[in-house]
């Protein structure tokens, strides 16, 4: 009898899970590379994506519920074996439409030919599949935060931080929101067409039914399914860009006007850069910095596709480029590299890699970048500092340090804004409250 071939979606998903665990690969890039080598039809590609990201989001919870069924500690298992166990447990717990026998059989087939491995995988998963009701769990620890971290599948240190800051109920809501599949949000290139006209094109050409975003007029939320956005004709034509609404709100906060000189000092891949150009009606000048030439090339490609001709790219660090542009910019956007702890919906592997010490380490470079960028702002000009992080060390503390040494800067919150700013004038986009990625941003004005 010919052995049953595993479903291609599961084969791709477990391969990428291995790469993420073994090589510290980014899940999105590893999946893109895997699908380039082994193209799948739209349905299988969607399943591979769901399996990969779902397993990564719920990794700790899956280990917790799997552990009683394994005679060996999960931490001692081979990378591939552990990936197969997690992947299959995710299907059995969270995906009701997938038959248990198919998920288990594929895991056994994918386990490889090493003696005893397939039998071990089969034994663990058969036991797990017989565990009873899907919601049945091992006894949770007595510690409230630890139990919350296990059930929400988060590192204990991060769960504890959020419980202290938000309270247990809101921390739970935030963690669960971070485990959801993020919406597919796009920005209409209003220099070419209206959001309504873009929605009509998507309905006609792609069979999609977009709906407006709640906070910015140029945004649309598109249902998942079908081909990726990069394959759409409207994308190739330059009619839209892929951008979360929180990211669009940061660009709106900058308040750049037609004719302004604007610097985007951490510009790649160019999403906010081109949004700035769009809001400026392609009038003025945008200086886009990045130290990586390949990433800077993506800024140029994006600007060309969207027909934003006012973008000038500059290769190099902010610290090296800023002195040559002292006090010359009406607006400077500083969207710094950070821990990425606000975008765990899109990059779930990040939460398993970060440690508390990483926040202080990030803040060192963030202070340096913000200080250099501040020198580019002309008197009366604006400085916007943003991160895709919710953590105070990377946001409030960095801005406070700048204000402590630069008396010529002061908070400059807009009078009105789509999302209410907090008492300090800071924009805090939270997935569980706003349905967006997690972003923090503040606008300052140079007074002298």
d(CA 207, CA 192): 21
Number of other residues whose CB lies within 10 A of the CB of residue 357: 8
Is 388 designated active site? Answer: yes
Could you give the 3-state DSSP secondary structure of residue 341?
Answer: coil
Question: CA 412, CA 415: separation in Å to the nearest integer?
Answer: 9
* Alpha helices (runs of H) in 95-194, residue ranges in sequence order: 100-110, 117-129, 144-152, 156-166, 168-178
**352 DSSP 8-state letter:** G
Please answer whether residues 145 and 163 qualify as being in contact, where contact means their C-beta atoms are separated by less than 8 angstroms: yes
Please, is 99 exposed, middle or buried when counting C-beta atoms within 10 Å of its C-beta (0-12, 13-18, 19+)? exposed
Options 152, 329, 388, 429, the catalytic residue:
388
Strand, helix or coil at 377?
Answer: strand
Element of type H or E holding 16: helix 8-23
Torsion angle (degrees, nearest 10) of CA 208, 209, 212, 218 = 30
CA angle 275, 276, 279 (to 5 degrees): 85
Q: Name 311's bridge partners.
A: 286
Question: Is 217:257 a contact under the CB 8 Å cutoff?
Answer: no
Is residue 249 a contact partner of residue 439, using CB atoms and an 8 Å limit? yes
Helix (H, G, I), strand (E, B) or coil at 443: strand
Catalytic residues: 388
């Amino acid at each position: 009898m010919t052995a049953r071939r595993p479903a291609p979606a599961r084969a791709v998903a477990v391969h990428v899970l291995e790469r993420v665990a073994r090589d510290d690969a980014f899940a999105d890039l590893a999946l893109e590379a895997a699908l380039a080598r082994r193209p799948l039809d739209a349905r299988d590609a969607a399943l591979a994506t769901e399996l990969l990201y779902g397993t990564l989001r719920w990794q700790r919870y899956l280990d917790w519920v799997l552990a009683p069924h394994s005679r060996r500690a999960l931490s001692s298992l081979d990378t591939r074996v552990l990936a197969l166990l997690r992947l299959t447990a995710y299907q059995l717990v969270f995906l009701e439409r997938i038959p248990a026998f198919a998920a288990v059989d594929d895991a056994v087939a994918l386990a490889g030919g090493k003696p005893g491995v397939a039998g071990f995988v089969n034994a663990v998963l058969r036991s797990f599949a017989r565990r009873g009701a899907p919601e049945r769990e091992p006894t949770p620890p007595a510690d409230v935060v630890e139990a919350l971290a296990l059930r929400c599948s988060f590192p204990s240190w991060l769960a504890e931080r959020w419980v202290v800051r938000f309270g247990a109920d809101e921390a739970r809501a935030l963690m669960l929101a971070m485990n959801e599949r993020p919406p597919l949000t796009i920005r209409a290139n209003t220099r070419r067409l209206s959001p309504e006209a873009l929605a009509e094109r998507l309905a006609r050409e792609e069979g999609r039914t977009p709906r407006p975003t709640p906070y910015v007029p140029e945004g649309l939320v598109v249902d998942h399914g079908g081909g990726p956005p990069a394959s759409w004709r409207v994308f190739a034509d330059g009619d839209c860009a892929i951008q979360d609404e929180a990211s669009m709100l940061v660009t709106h906060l900058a308040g750049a006007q037609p004719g302004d000189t604007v610097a985007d000092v951490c510009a790649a891949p160019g999403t906010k850069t081109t949004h700035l150009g769009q809001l400026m009606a392609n009038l003025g000048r945008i200086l886009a910095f990045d130290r990586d030439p390949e990433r800077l090339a993506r800024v140029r490609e994006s600007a060309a596709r969207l027909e934003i001709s006012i973008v000038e790219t500059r290769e190099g660090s902010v610290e090296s480029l800023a002195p040559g542009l002292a006090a010359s910019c009406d607006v400077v956007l500083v969207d710094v590299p950070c821990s990425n702890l606000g975008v765990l919906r899109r990059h779930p592997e990040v939460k398993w890699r970060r440690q508390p010490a990483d926040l202080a380490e990030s803040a060192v470079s963030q202070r340096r970048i913000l200080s250099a960028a501040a020198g580019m702002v002309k008197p009366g000009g604006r400085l916007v500092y943003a991160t895709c992080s919710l953590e105070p060390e990377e946001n409030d503390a960095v801005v406070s340090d700048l204000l402590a040494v630069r008396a010529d800067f002061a908070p400059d919150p807009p009078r009105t804004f789509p999302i209410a700013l907090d008492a300090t004038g800071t924009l805090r986009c939270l997935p569980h409250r706003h349905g967006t990625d997690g972003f923090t941003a503040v606008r300052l004005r140079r007074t002298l």
